[in-house]
Amino acid sequence: MNSILRLSIGLAGIGGVAALGTWAAVRLIRSRRKSPEELERLRRLDLNRRGRITTCHILDVIEPDTSRKLVVYHYEVAGVSYEVAQDVSALPELASNAYDLLGQAASVKYDPKRPTNSMIACEDWSGIRPIASLIH
């Protein structure tokens, strides 16, 4: 009976260590997940590093809800037209002046391998002329 008790305690200890290890692994995996906002920020910064520049035309500003502002723009790459929207909510200066940009020309950075992946601004770059120059 004594050996059965030792075996039970040993197995319980091993089970406890395994449960603790599983819990720690799950916490680590969850902590490494990036939020959608962080993924978008990283996309913009990557595109800033390796993107090519062309001219775009700002068509519209859409506010699907109170927390987001989308700037819709049009550009061409290799004879193909693209109409894209960028959420500029994370870029406060651009978001607050977005309606002043309607009808303006700007620069856009795009991924040469996937031209639909583009942006008109990020934390380190902007294809928008200074807002002060837009006021007549």
Whether residues 72 and 58 share a domain: the answer is: yes
Residue 4 belongs to domain spanning:
1-33
Digit-coded pLDDT (tens) for 54-63: 999 999 999 9
Return left, alpha or beta for 78; rule: phi > 0 is left, psi -120 to 50 is alpha, else beta. left
Mean pLDDT of 18-35: 73
Instruction: Read off the pTM.
Output: 0.71
- Count of domains in the chain? 2
- Mean pLDDT rounded to a whole number for the chain: 87
Whether residues 65 and 124 share a domain: the answer is: yes
Digit-coded pLDDT (tens) for 38-50: 999 999 999 999 9
Whether residues 96 and 67 share a domain: the answer is: yes
Compute and round to an integer the Cα radius of gyration of the chain: 25
Whether residues 67 and 23 share a domain: the answer is: no
